[in-house]
Amino acid sequence: MLFHGAPGSRLFVPPADTPRELGIRLITFDRPGFGGSDRREGRTVLDTAGDVASLADGLGFDRFAVLGLSAGGAHALACAVALGERVTDVAVACMPGPLDEVPGAWDALDRRQRPAAEMSRQDPKRAARGVVRYSERWLDDPTSFLGGGTPDDRALLAEPATGAMLAADVTEALRPGAGGMADDLVALWMPWGFRIADLRPGIRLWHGAEDTRGEPDFRSLAATLPACRAQVWPDVGHLGVLRHWQEVLDSVAPS
């Protein structure tokens, strides 16, 4: 199960031959409010586990690995907590940590996110409305969300196949509006409903050395996850996984 970022959708995928060569059946889906999935206001990070269990049941498999990218990392970890032995392996990349558990996470929020995150603790609905208003700037041209980033992020966007995938992903994500984006961010800013320090040991964790959008203090996140297997990719930013699909997918591939 691959968990997309925010905004993101089921269209955030590696080249088709990568999972096939590794013998992986890759499942992607839209979280509520993104793409073709109905919005569910007030959802929590831990709520995702129920959706994933239902999806796996419907597809007819009992056990599966989870891979979370960026904001999707929290949801992958939630499945590891809630679904226990159904989850065979866990990997996350370029993800932010929970604000109340990872040292420095509050300070790492930028000047726009910090007030919204503080508001989410007082009035989550008001915070979500604020994120919707702010995010509406991208609705007429969803690909404008992809601007900026590190030099390597911009280089990836300029690659024809990769750029087309990213454009399709964010366009589909924001097609129903900015509600999914707002709910995802508020859920991340709120308590997650579990402590990552209590997760199983050995989770795989990657981070781009130039990433300014994921957890800036990667060492704090790595130190909080029990005995995690952490690695920094040099010279890549928030989209670094796009250069390391094979490595990441192979880490959760069936042996």
- DSSP string for residues in 88-121: EEEEEES-PPPTTTSTTHHHHS-TTHHHHHHHHH
For residue 214, what pLDDT is reported? 61
pLDDT above 70 (res 199): yes
What does the CA dihedral 189, 195, 197, 201 come to, rounded to 10 degrees?
Answer: -110
Asked if the bond preceding 15 is cis, omega within 30° of 0, the reply is no
Q: How far apart, in whole angstroms, are the C-alpha atoms of residue 215 and residue 95? A: 6
How confident is the model at residue 215, as a pLDDT? 62
- Residue pLDDT, tens place only, 5-53: 999 999 999 999 999 999 999 999 999 999 999 999 999 999 999 999 9
pLDDT at position 149 over 70 = yes
In this structure, are residues 249 and 22 in contact, taking their beta carbons and an 8 Å threshold? yes
Look over the chain and give the mean of its residue pLDDT values, rounded to a whole number.
95
Average pLDDT, integer, range 153-170 = 97
pLDDT digits (tens, 9 = 90+) for 88-111: 999 999 999 999 999 888 988 888
Please state the separation of Cα 172 from the chain's center in Å: 16
Measured distance CA(92)–CA(206) in Å, rounded? 6
DSSP state of 28: B
* pLDDT class of 254 with cuts at 50, 70, 90: confident
Residue 168 in this model has a pLDDT that exceeds 80: yes
Mind listing the pLDDT tens digit for each residue in 114-133?
999 999 999 999 999 999 99
pLDDT at 110: 84
> Residue 20: CB partners within 8 Å, gap ≥ 6?
none
Q: Which residues, in sequence order, are bridge partners of residue 232?
A: 207
Range of the domain at 17: 2-251
Structural domain count of the chain = 1
Q: What is the DSSP secondary-structure string of 47-93?
A: THHHHHHHHHHHHT-S-EEEEEETTHHHHHHHHHHHSGGGEEEEEEE
CATH of residue 135? 3.40.50.1820
Q: Residue 216 has what pLDDT?
A: 63
Q: What percent of the chain has pLDDT over 90?
A: 90
Report whether 127 contacts 196 (CB < 8 A): no
